[in-house]
Amino acid sequence: MSEVQRRGFLARLTAYEPLTLIMLAAVAGGLFVLQRLTSEVLEGETFHFDETILLALRRPGELGVPIGPDWLTHAVGDITSLGGVTVLSLMTVLVTVYLLLDRRWPIAIFVLSSVLTGWLASTILKILVARPRPDIVPHLVEVSDLSFPSGHAMVSAVTYLTLGALLARTQRYRSTRIFVMFAGVFLAVIIGLSRIYLGVHYPTDVFAGWCAGALWALGCWLISKRFIPSRAPDAAAEAGNSVGGTSA
């Protein structure tokens, strides 16, 4: 191997940061977990686990009444709305418009396409598995589609984690990047838990939704980190001019 070839190989090897390699390993591990969970669900191995948790969240002898005070049920109903199509669509459109106005065209287009394709993936998974909704306890909200994976859990994870990961790349300070990512994770978690509390999803539906949504968001982050610039064209140009002026 010549000196030029050796340097080229080392450059390609070091182009991937350790964090990127860790994320790639996480994607592989997540795919394995999702595949195993789906297999167990199709074989009916998770039913006892799901039944135990759903029954534990209802009052003994009154399965139509969830545990906790009345205000908690009302609050959970409000939280689950954050994972609905209307709220997520508004959130995605507003963030996309903001990025367009901020002249971050590549990230804006990537955000919109990432969320839309994630929603499509959720629908396809539901059709492929075709798991009916749980009938162990009465539903506290009206539902009509299939159960696995939880659409609210997966789509909210896809939307909030993707938006959080991509928006974090536009932030200057580490503290704001951490906050944006934490907010995305927090929203995805409480929305998924609300579906279990309301009795409209098996816990394994929600776990699968979180796993699939996180994988999708992580994959989008890896692609954007590799190919999508995080700064607006004007900001990048100003930074280049500043460096050039300093070196002169």
**pLDDT tens per residue, range 127-148:** 888 888 888 888 888 887 788 8
On the question of a cis peptide bond just before residue 138, with omega within 30 degrees of 0, the verdict is no
The residue annotated as part of the active site, out of 48, 74, 139, 201, is 201
The residue annotated as part of the active site, out of 48, 74, 139, 152, is 152
* Residue with token string 């990537």: 110
Alpha carbon distance 160, 175 (integer Å): 18
Q: What digits encode the pLDDT tens for the residues 83-103?
A: 888 898 898 898 889 888 888
Assess whether 201 carries a catalytic annotation. yes
What pLDDT band is residue 13 in, cutting at 50, 70 and 90?
Answer: very low
pLDDT at 245 over 70: no
* Alpha helices, DSSP H, located in the chain: 3-14, 18-42, 47-56, 70-81, 85-101, 105-129, 151-156, 162-168, 174-197, 203-227, 233-247
pLDDT at 18 over 90: no
Q: What digits encode the pLDDT tens for the residues 158-212?
A: 888 887 777 776 677 788 888 888 888 899 899 999 999 998 898 999 998 888 8
18 C-beta neighbours (distance < 10 Å), count: 7
How many CA atoms lie less than 13 Å away from 158 in the CB half-sphere?
A: 31
The 3-state DSSP class for residue 184 equals helix
Alpha carbon distance 83, 149 (integer Å): 14
Q: What is the DSSP string of 210-223?
A: HHHHHHHHHHHHHH
